[in-house]
Amino acid sequence: MCRKVPARYASAYTSGKLWIPSELVQNFINEFINSWLAGLPALSKMVKVAGDSIETEIDERIRRALALGDVEQIEAAYDVLWYELPSRYSTEILKATERFGTDVYLRRPRLMHITLLAHHQRDYRGDNPDLGRILQMFRTQGRRYASRLAEFDNPSDLLTAGTIAVIAARLEGAFRRADQLGMWLDDRLGAMPSSAHVPWAPDHAGAKPGWLSTQRGLTATLSGDYDYASRLYTRGFSEAGPAPRGHFAGANSAANLAMVFALRGHFDLARQWIERMAALGPLPDWIEHLTALGAKIAGALIAVEEGDAELARERLDRIGPATQHVELWPFILHVRGTYHACFGDPYEGLAELEAARLAHGTSSVEAGATQHLLLRTEAKLLLRTHNAARVLHLARTDPDQFPAHLTAWAHIYSGHPHQAIRVSARALHRASEPLALADAIELHLTIAVAHLRNGHTDRAIQSFEAATRMRSTPMHVRPFLLAPPDDIATLARLTDTPNPLEAIKTARPNPLHTIALVDLTPRELAVLHTLDQGITAVAAAQKLGVSPATVRSQTASIYRKLGVSRRNAALARAYELGLFGKN
């Protein structure tokens, strides 16, 4: 008979994932006792066995190595145990490593990583863990390792130093550099003989299976390349070994894949990846939030998109604020902002957005998901605060990055359906890359509402049917929440389909109102700026390259649109409407 299986392995054992013949147990025990000092391969075999006596022997050997400060044995144990080592021995690790200086950590990246995680595990206090210090250490050490990678010939050292360097570049907002470094590291590790072993092979000597691919996937996510990120996460999930010690990167990859699919509007696929992450088993509490955050964001986003405001609120509470020190903060902000735009307080959402900007700073970040999500979130909230003029200003400032469907909604709210059709149709037919499913639904929906208001019923029906058919699930209602509810009810009646807004659970969406939009032409905006500068019509004409009569005519048009008759009143109203933007 096999020896008793420890409690932490019971679920895997009873589910049939572990099967350990008694003769193998005895062989492994003998090999472990005789071969511990031979190095990592022996340890790798031993920790895969679920015998209590082996676990006890491993525990004693690790504590002895830590007490003696045996760096090589500590690193060997970390290669196999990964996060479980600081989970179980953080106090001993910190005591063993307090004697080492900066030069030692520079030569031994695994020792630095162990010590850093032990500090974080010791300081963990539960809800909303502060990751600011650990991220700053990654940033500092990663810069140092990046210039020394060629010096590491041990695969585990190279993997650790290189992956930390990738993380450091990403934390600086240098996504292209992080990706290039990750590709180089991947090639270098792939050329090393020991890298050929699969993670679950008995003689596997590699550390942290799937970690590099998962971190490269996170870089692609933050740069906004979700297709590339999905490939890297899928690879990271496949590379990761089984629980309890090889699945950490696999769980992280599955969680982030769920988030990517939810962002793109594929909710059934997102749910599948959440289930796959859960099937890998529990995670240590001190890394659970960081590892599973993508899945939490996906769950909250699905609840918002499917109109379950109460469930969304509960899941947002578990995620925490967008000001916390995590790299996925833009995605937290996006789902929180979307919730406030649909069900909560849009002014509170704008306040959260500003707080997140101040907490993280975005000026040095390369264009990518962060800037795009901030812009998208701000526009949704501005529409709910009846500030369509500001939305259109943002759209003109950065037309390539600004979501076309939000521009189209601004035109619809302000009574310009033809403009909405032009913007949405152009986005559908001229998209340089595949549109997110949720965005495509809203583009069709804006066209449907615009045609309805123009009296083109047949075209409205066609576009509305396209929007409803494209939904990921029948419960996908969030794209319809930005539309005037009377228009949606009319379109549902014309198409003889259920009204999507009637499927909303537990709360009604924020009300929409007609917005009095002041939409100045680009030339009128230029003249408005000259009014703000206090120069004469003649000077303005010289500056703009037009005649003084043209400037006076455009000034009169500006006054008429703003409903004023004097310059000071025009400038006051223009600032009130946000026509000057951030200038």
Chain length of the chain: 583
What is the rounded CA–CA span in Å between residue 2 and residue 36?
Answer: 22
Cβ 512 vs Cβ 485: under 8 Å = yes
In the numeric block, the tokens 């909710």 are attached to 267
What is the rounded CA–CA span in Å between residue 156 and residue 207?
Answer: 6
Give whole-number Cα distances, 567 to 97, 136, 527, 558, 573, in Å.
Answer: 70, 51, 12, 10, 10
What is the rounded CA–CA span in Å between residue 132 and residue 120?
Answer: 10
The mean pLDDT values, 10 residues at a time, for the chain of 583 residues are 37 34 41 42 44 66 87 87 89 89 89 90 69 79 90 91 94 93 92 60 64 96 95 94 81 97 95 96 90 97 93 94 93 96 92 93 73 91 83 78 88 86 90 80 95 94 94 88 89 92 68 60 85 87 89 88 85 77 48
What is the set of domains in the chain, with CATH numbers?
Answer: 208-385 (1.25.40), 387-513 (1.25.40), 522-577 (1.10.10.10)
In the numeric block, the tokens 């490269």 are attached to 216
Q: What pLDDT, on a 0 to 100 scale, did the predictor assign at position 47?
A: 46
Q: What pLDDT, on a 0 to 100 scale, did the predictor assign at position 161?
A: 94
The amino acid occupying position 457 is T
3-state SS, one letter per residue, for 39-58: CHHHHHHHCCCCCHHHHHHH
Give whole-number Cα distances, 433 to 224, 285, 436, 481, in Å.
Answer: 12, 39, 9, 25
250: which residues sit within 8 A by CB, 6+ positions away? 210, 236, 237, 239, 240, 241, 280
Question: Which pair of tokens denotes residue 67?
Answer: 């007490």
What is the rounded CA–CA span in Å between residue 83 and residue 251?
Answer: 13
Cβ 355 vs Cβ 454: under 8 Å = no
Cβ 452 vs Cβ 480: under 8 Å = no
What is the rounded CA–CA span in Å between residue 30 and residue 66?
Answer: 23
Which of 294, 285, 209 is closest to 248 using CA atoms? 209
Query: What are 505's strand-pairing partners?
Result: 308
Query: What are 308's strand-pairing partners?
Result: 505
Q: What pLDDT, on a 0 to 100 scale, did the predictor assign at position 256?
A: 98
What is the rounded CA–CA span in Å between residue 240 and residue 395?
Answer: 43
**What phi, psi does 244 have (nearest 5°)?**
-95, -5
Give whole-number Cα distances, 492 to 461, 497, 508, in Å.
Answer: 9, 5, 18
Radius of gyration for the chain, computed over Cα atoms and rounded to the nearest angstrom: 29
Please state, as a whole number, how many other Cβ atoms lie within 10 Å of the Cβ of residue 569. 13
3-state SS, one letter per residue, for 218-281: HHHHHHCCHHHHHHHHHHHHHHCCCCCCCCHHHHHHHHHHHHHHHHHCCHHHHHHHHHHHHHCC
Handedness of CA 329, 333, 334, 335 (dihedral sign): positive
Cis peptide before 484 (omega within 30 of 0): no
The amino acid occupying position 103 is D
What is the rounded CA–CA span in Å between residue 488 and residue 501?
Answer: 8
Angle at 482 between CA 477 and CA 488, to 5 degrees: 70
- Give the predicted TM-score (pTM) of the model: 0.81
Q: What pLDDT, on a 0 to 100 scale, did the predictor assign at position 5?
A: 35
Q: Three-state DSSP class for 221?
A: helix
Helix, strand, coil percent content, the chain, rounded in steps of 5: 70, 0, 30
In the numeric block, the tokens 């037309």 are attached to 399
What is the rounded CA–CA span in Å between residue 463 and residue 424?
Answer: 11
Q: Three-state DSSP class for 435?
A: coil
Query: How far from each other are the two terminal CA atoms of the chain, in whole angstroms?
Result: 77
What is the rounded CA–CA span in Å between residue 214 and residue 230?
Answer: 10
Angle at 372 between CA 367 and CA 378, to 5 degrees: 135
407: which residues sit within 8 A by CB, 6+ positions away? 391, 392, 395, 423
Q: What pLDDT, on a 0 to 100 scale, did the predictor assign at position 21?
A: 37
Handedness of CA 88, 79, 154, 148 (dihedral sign): negative
Q: What pLDDT, on a 0 to 100 scale, did the predictor assign at position 537?
A: 86
Can you list the pairs that 562-571 forms with residues at least 24 positions away whose Cβ atoms lie under 8 Å?
562/518, 567/531, 570/528, 570/531, 571/531, 571/532
